[in-house]
Amino acid sequence: MSIGRAEFLEAAKTEYVEVVVVGLGDVRLRNLSAIEVEDMRTDADNPLSFGLRAIIASVVDDAGEPVLQADDFDQLGRLPLPVIETLITEISTINGFGADELIEDLDITPPDDSSTS
Q: Could you please state the CATH topology (level 3) that the domain comprising 12-108 is classified under.
A: rbstp2171 (3.30.2220)
Express each pLDDT in 75-90 by its tens digit.
888 899 899 989 999 9
Mean of pLDDT values over 8-33: 92
What global pTM score does this model have?
0.76
Q: Which residue has the higher pLDDT, 95 or 66?
A: 66
Please, which residues bridge with residue 25 across strands? 21
Express each pLDDT in 46-81 by its tens digit.
656 788 889 999 999 999 999 999 899 888 888 998
CA distance 56 to 50: 10
User: Domain boundaries in the chain?
Assistant: 12-108
Express each pLDDT in 99-112 by its tens digit.
676 666 665 544 44
CA distance 102 to 105: 5
Reduce the DSSP state of residue 109 to 3 states and report it.
coil
Identify the CA nearest to 88 among candidates 59, 67, 63. 59
Mean of pLDDT values over 26-36: 94
| pLDDT for the residue 34 | 87
| pLDDT for the residue 10 | 83
Task: Please give, one letter per residue, the 3-state secondary structure of 9-29.
Answer: HHCCCCCEEEEEECCCEEEEE
Please, which residues bridge with residue 30 across strands? 16
Say how many C-beta atoms besides its own lie within 10 A of residue 86's C-beta.
20
